[in-house]
Chain A
Amino acid sequence: RKEVEQDPGPFNVPEGATVAFNCTYSNSASQSFFWYRQDCRKEPKLLMSVYSSGNEDGRFTAQLNRASQYISLLIRDSKLSDSATYLCVVPRGAGFKTIFGAGTRLFVKA
């Protein structure tokens, strides 16, 4: 299994739809994770942190399933402005090094 794997996408959804992405990881000792958003030709920006079973921020919900070793990101009521690539980040071993997933591309259409 790769250290981190994401749904390849792209996901094409209409405005108002609910969409979910998954990210699987191999390091069973991982305790916390991040979701980043990256717009085309821009830097990644932190979207959400996931330190326990999950986290919710407005339309965005991140969930962690330790038994199956995956995290998910749920976006409700999609907006055109949600169109971006979503990267999951997991720790690499002990310490502060991280691994970035290759990202899942989302297109929200009017």
Chain B
Amino acid sequence: DGGITQSPKYLFRKEGQNVTLSCEQNLNHDAMYWYRQDPGQGLRLIYYSQIVNDFQKGDIAEGYSVSREKKESFPLTVTSAQKNPTAFYLCASSGTGGFQPQHFGDGTRLSIL
């Protein structure tokens, strides 16, 4: 079945540590996205990528980094510069012809130890 796989489901970060969240899709989508959701809040865009080896900052990119070396993969690194990383992180993908709906992975919950 086609879909988006995020791992791990739960992640704990120590102070000063970088952590990487994995996102893999087999939907053959060109565009991929990372969102952050805080309790009771909407989704905020961190980074997005329209094509391999290219990505753009979203609304809240500070303290995060991404790479897009393969079409299927769009990992997100939460760096130690992100002082409030506790949140629900969602990865999504979509086609790029016109306005296409985004399909989501089941998310990663990140907490600080």
Chain A residues with CB under 8 Å of chain B are 31-32, 34, 41-46, 49, 87, 89, 91, 95-98, 100-103
Contact = CB atoms under 8 A, between A and B. Distances in A.
Interface size class of B (residues with CB under 8 A): 20 to 34
A49 B31 contact: no
Contacts of A97: 45, 48
Contacts of A95: 50
6 contacts: A46-B102, A87-B42, A89-B102, A96-B100, A98-B99, A101-B42
B96 A44 contact: no
B104 A44 contact: yes
A96 B42 contact: no
Contacts of B31: 96
Given A96-B50, A96-B94, A102 B99 contact: no
Nearest to A35: B101
Interface of B: 31, 35, 41-43, 45, 48, 50, 88, 90, 94, 96, 98-107
B101 A44 contact: no
A21 to B, nearest CB: 14
B44 to A, nearest CB: 8
Nearest to B107: A43
Contact of B99 (A41, A42, A46, A96): A96
Contact of B106 (A32, A43, A91, A100): A43
